[in-house]
Amino acid sequence: MNDPLWQQYFDYLVNLVTLNMPNSWVISPGTPAFELVLIYLPRTMWLGFWSVLIALFVGIPLGFYAGLRPNTIGDYLASFGGIVWRAMPNFWLAVIFVSILAQSNKVLGFEWSSLLVETNIVTPPSLAFLAHPLESLTNPGEAFTEFLKATKQVAPAALVLGSSSMGNEMRIGRTAVLETINSNYVETARAKGLSERSIVWKHVFRNALIPLIPIITSEAFILISGSVLVELVFAINGMGYLFFQASVQGDLPLVGALMYISIVLLVSVNILQDILYTVVDPRVGIDQN
């Protein structure tokens, strides 16, 4: 504190870049904020990973299916389902899921906590298998069981967290396909005698992905960074939960560290977005002149 303000600020920035973050004041006094991040971040990343997969591999295919078959029963069902999923608040849907799973024997006809592997309905995911990846080679059976257990523990939360993104991507994907399939180059491809499958995969699918890239990347950041309410309802105890507790209890060093990590994630997602543009759209690239 005896150094000039500019020197203090410069040292603070250097410590952030080198991940030499200050100690927590309240949550865990004396513990470096980075150590707390290493404890809570994997849970949020695991939840975000499955949330992104659900949004991508359910929302986009349904949107493309509806766009390729407009004004059919399948289109109406997919569009209506996307609107409903998009409209339901995450915290409300999370509470509904917990209530259903708690009474799964009566509602679904089977006991959720005993399905495949024994787990609790609301609990932090057990990610011990990620800390020892070599054990998957020496003891693959136990490693797969732990993987299945960790996946099941975040499955309901991932479905809730990815549901709004799933509906949004489905709606925008449908619109993008409808706009692309009526383009002049698609009509030209049909006139050349290309098969419908070739037209869809080589012309429609790739070009319809272009308007989806900013939607996917922006929502991927939200999903990976975590959701406070969803993590609280399902007791995931990830970054969202840690940020909430640090904010409520006034743990300023920890809040600053978490904000910095969120900014790094956001910048990384924006860079990934630019890279994806060049991969999907060959017209976008680095000027060589």
CA distance 42 to 53: 16
Q: What is the pLDDT of residue 225?
A: 60
Range of the domain at 69: 32-280
Q: What is the pLDDT of residue 226?
A: 57
Asked, for residue 267, whether it belongs to a domain, the answer is: yes
Asked, for residue 3, whether it belongs to a domain, the answer is: no
Nearest to 239 by CA among 57, 30, 27: 27
Q: What is the pLDDT of residue 282?
A: 65
Asked, for residue 289, whether it belongs to a domain, the answer is: no
37: which residues sit within 8 A by CB, 6+ positions away?
Answer: 21, 239, 242, 257, 258, 261
Q: What is the DSSP string of 76-109?
A: HHHHHHHHHHHHS-HHHHHHHHHHHHHTHHHHTS
Contact call for residues 17 and 11 (beta carbons, < 8 A) = no
260: which residues sit within 8 A by CB, 6+ positions away?
Answer: 16, 21
Contact call for residues 85 and 163 (beta carbons, < 8 A) = yes
Q: What is the pLDDT of residue 5?
A: 92
Whole-angstrom distance between the N-terminal and C-terminal Cα of the chain? Answer: 51
CA distance 216 to 56: 8
Mean pLDDT per block of 10 residues along the chain (289 residues) reads 89 85 88 88 88 86 87 87 81 90 87 87 84 71 86 90 81 86 82 83 81 78 71 87 90 88 84 81 58
Asked, for residue 23, whether it belongs to a domain, the answer is: no
Q: How many CB atoms lie within 10 A of CB 282?
A: 8
What's the predicted TM-score (pTM) here? 0.82
CATH number at residue 80: 1.10.3720.10
Q: What is the pLDDT of residue 202?
A: 79
Asked, for residue 63, whether it belongs to a domain, the answer is: yes
CA distance 59 to 165: 8
Q: What is the pLDDT of residue 249?
A: 92
Domains in the chain, number: 1
Asked, for residue 137, whether it belongs to a domain, the answer is: yes
Q: What is the pLDDT of residue 289?
A: 47
